[in-house]
Structure 1
């Protein structure tokens, strides 16, 4: 990954008084402003935050808390989305509103296209966590501190359109400072279509006709074709850009997270090749043993499988949108239940599992044997459940995405309810929205949830 250094400086020059006003107001090189591609790079630096969070892992029940168990028991509490708005989204909006994008950093249309794709990806994640959120009136700064909350249905419609518009803008040539795809616009095109495909699949239960049409259109325009196309954030083996979990486990010496009992029970009996990557053998027995999610009594970290070394290595990558996800989506679309696309659902499913194993382990060793295991071998009669379950296993450490797919499909049907509390269906809004944006906040909560900003109320596509 390239290191991005943005240098902002000022200088005082000895100039004549008559020229001072003219010179200070004309700065053709803009040395004190970040370029469009630098702002894009800055927005890209926030991508790991979409995935790297204990809360996301608790929502999907991948990890069980060993120390502060109460944090994982789904307390009713607000969760802020402000950081996404005044962080990466503000940077991307600055690019989209700029009249001074520099063609020396690559075609301006390509800079705009990448900014649109990233903006859509961030907003998709945001709306799938909170529901209705500010969109069309958001990011206006001092011009509007109280933006209207748009419906999730409206946001999805706009994001589909934005992604298509971004693809149409792409032209030959690369862009500078791209720390994700190194300026390769072919990969950005495939990513935009892949986001659209997965967004379409999310609407399978609430708007199947729209979902099928958008899915097919995205697929025909070209989606990810290999793991080399994955949306990956590659951390560095240095403190300034290290993996979140390294900072927690190594730097802070926190053995706070063990694999859950359900995850190990899903993987170990079928000799899943990914399990040795996901977690470590227990120090006591030398076996893979998961911790019951929400267990509060007699937790000894020696007795359970903690997070795998490779997952929290300092330079460990974060996989955000992957080829295996696309293949799982195609497998589901080809099932008799969906029948959205031609093709053999079993073949897509097997390729998805194989590519997942390749992504996580670096080889396909053991894939054939794994796919031959009872319960893993494709079966048309339980196809959706099998696909969803293997997708859940694949999405390890991107808990928020796995949680969204669990809400949509109901699979895997193995989630536990700690102290009788069900898995949440959304995040609640920031507490201070009730004061900072009272009218629009109240309208959104009333419209969606009958006035109750609860984490157990379903989103539009989950109803």
Structure 2
């Protein structure tokens, strides 16, 4: 898949070279077997290659942080990552990579041989919304309306997160309304199936709407109901899943780290193991390997760097999740079900506890089937336990905790849901001078030089005050 990168660059280079030869007859300069322009669907496919990075890191020089904020993983080495030592993170690779590809795809889509043009544009808009949602939930106010203009604007204004959310809802509405029958080509996610793309767009819309539960419940409820009416995921086969391949160019990040680089740096954290183990959660054997003594033992979270960890005493990240071709789950049916369960509980949709319980139970079932390769062994016994069985008095906490488990390895999404709901109840890294769990990430330091006036304006407009650090809050994370 990543070989597409090289071919795309070569196509653009060839286009640049041949554009200077327009004094000759077009027929002389045109080879019908070697196109000089990238098709919109090729650009979309190239953007899709970056989807797996949402679960790890877009900045290839950076370490993994998203998995540490919601305390899914603990470091066996270089434990500074889980003690929040890095404040500023770089969003440039996301803008310059997948988002620029998608913006160009929307601009140039004109070839019906690649599938209905309106469908090509709709898919590009869904992916654009998804990447921008990821950015704004990490940083808050971001370049949005003036972004992606290339040389037309190197210093874009930052829009508030509220403006960004409104814009993304509009983008997803446009995509939903545009789809017509007819698949598209070069799609490495759904094989061109626009029915599933439409459900994905509406599911993203649904999950975004729920983010507004604290800051603007009226707007959130309306957007949630709209997305639900337009049609969301209704089976695990609809999941947005990035499928890696069994080759070096396209392999899973965790395979590269553990197997190719021999870095046993990531153990499953004590908080999640201690939550799952007493419940005999069927997903735990997938998430974690047993230690040398044959037990599941989570590693303490946020250990000081001076502590020496005996790796064999703890459960490393499960081997099933770090095969060369292990998939990455990004937006899932179970997520939609947990969202519907919460929506029923807070009266955003009809049915109250009855509908909430139905969706909660089904969400856990589908989560277990997703993670356990469609094996439901142990599900009934798991669901019958008091901490798991739906209880109207503790439902929001149960939904939050089970959603947290389900989102394992999708760290930034698990972190966002923890910030919004407060569940599960997590403690910051101990022995770390009382530094709290981050609420956002700091802007790229390059912005101070490259876009200083707009950077300063963005920091000065934080909705709840604060500086450009890990402790300020994004708009929907209302105190």
Q: What's the TM-score bracket when you normalise by the shorter of the two chains?
A: over 0.9
Q: What is aligned with 1:78?
A: 88
Distance in 2 (CA, whole Å) between partners of 1:19 and 1:292 is 69
8 A contact 1:107–1:175 mirrored in 2: yes
Q: What is aligned with 2:308?
A: 298
- C-alpha displacement at 1:32, in angstroms? 2.1
Give the direction of change, closer, same or farther, for the CA distance of 1:147–1:18 in structure 2 (3 Å limit).
Answer: closer
In the TM superposition, what whole-angstrom CA distance separates every residue of 1:218-244 from its partner, at most 9, and x where no partner exists? 111110010000000000010010000
Verify: 1:288 aligned to 2:296, yes or no.
Answer: yes
Q: What is aligned with 2:362?
A: 351
Verify: 1:445 aligned to 2:459, yes or no.
Answer: yes
In the TM superposition, what whole-angstrom CA distance separates every residue of 1:146-165 from its partner, at most 9, and x where no partner exists? 00000100010011111010
Q: Give 1:93-242 correspondences, 5 Å limit.
A: 93-98=103-108, 101-242=110-251
- Point out the more displaced range, 2-11 or 67-76: 2-11
Give the direction of change, closer, same or farther, for the CA distance of 1:349–1:450 in structure 2 (3 Å limit).
Answer: closer
Distance in 2 (CA, whole Å) between partners of 1:340 and 1:72 is 38
Give the direction of change, closer, same or farther, for the CA distance of 1:30–1:154 in structure 2 (3 Å limit).
Answer: farther
TM-score by length of 1: 0.94
Give the direction of change, closer, same or farther, for the CA distance of 1:28–1:333 in structure 2 (3 Å limit).
Answer: same
In the TM superposition, what whole-angstrom CA distance separates every residue of 1:209-268 from its partner, at most 9, and x where no partner exists? 111111111111110010000000000010010000100110110010111111111100
Verify: 1:386 aligned to 2:387, yes or no.
Answer: no
In the TM superposition, what whole-angstrom CA distance separates every residue of 1:166-212 from its partner, at most 9, and x where no partner exists? 01111111000000000101001100100000000000010001111
Q: Give 1:40-55 correspondences, 5 Å limit.
A: 40-53=44-57, 54-55=64-65
Three-state SS of the structure 2 residue aligned to 1:462 is coil
Q: What is aligned with 1:6?
A: 7
Give the direction of change, closer, same or farther, for the CA distance of 1:411–1:402 in structure 2 (3 Å limit).
Answer: same
In the TM superposition, what whole-angstrom CA distance separates every residue of 1:407-454 from its partner, at most 9, and x where no partner exists? 000000133333122110001000010110011000000000646101
8 A contact 1:52–1:245 mirrored in 2: no
Three-state SS of the structure 2 residue aligned to 1:319 is strand
In the TM superposition, what whole-angstrom CA distance separates every residue of 1:118-146 from its partner, at most 9, and x where no partner exists? 00000001000000000010000111000
Three-state SS of the structure 1 residue aligned to 2:214 is coil
- Selected match of 1:422 from 420, 436, 461: 436
- C-alpha displacement at 1:26, in angstroms? 6.8
Distance in 1 (CA, whole Å) between partners of 2:215 and 2:248 is 44
Give the direction of change, closer, same or farther, for the CA distance of 1:442–1:235 in structure 2 (3 Å limit).
Answer: same
Which consecutive unaligned segments of at least 5 residues does structure 1 have?
12-16
Verify: 1:37 aligned to 2:34, yes or no.
Answer: no
Three-state SS of the structure 2 residue aligned to 1:320 is strand
Query: How many residue pairs end up in the alignment?
Result: 455
Distance in 1 (CA, whole Å) between partners of 2:308 and 2:319 is 24
Three-state SS of the structure 1 residue aligned to 2:334 is helix
Distance in 1 (CA, whole Å) between partners of 2:409 and 2:151 is 37
Verify: 1:266 aligned to 2:275, yes or no.
Answer: yes
Distance in 1 (CA, whole Å) between partners of 2:386 and 2:473 is 34
Q: What is aligned with 1:369?
A: 381
8 A contact 1:277–1:308 mirrored in 2: yes
- C-alpha displacement at 1:344, in angstroms? 1.6
Q: What is aligned with 1:14?
A: none
Distance in 2 (CA, whole Å) between partners of 1:196 and 1:18 is 45
- C-alpha displacement at 1:18, in angstroms? 11
8 A contact 1:37–1:111 mirrored in 2: yes
Give the direction of change, closer, same or farther, for the CA distance of 1:18–1:136 in structure 2 (3 Å limit).
Answer: closer
Please give the root-mean-square deviation of Cα atoms over the aligned residues, in Å. Answer: 2.0
Three-state SS of the structure 2 residue aligned to 1:422 is coil
Which consecutive unaligned segments of at least 5 residues does structure 2 have?
16-20, 58-63
8 A contact 1:426–1:457 mirrored in 2: yes
Q: What is aligned with 2:344?
A: 334
TM-score by length of 2: 0.91
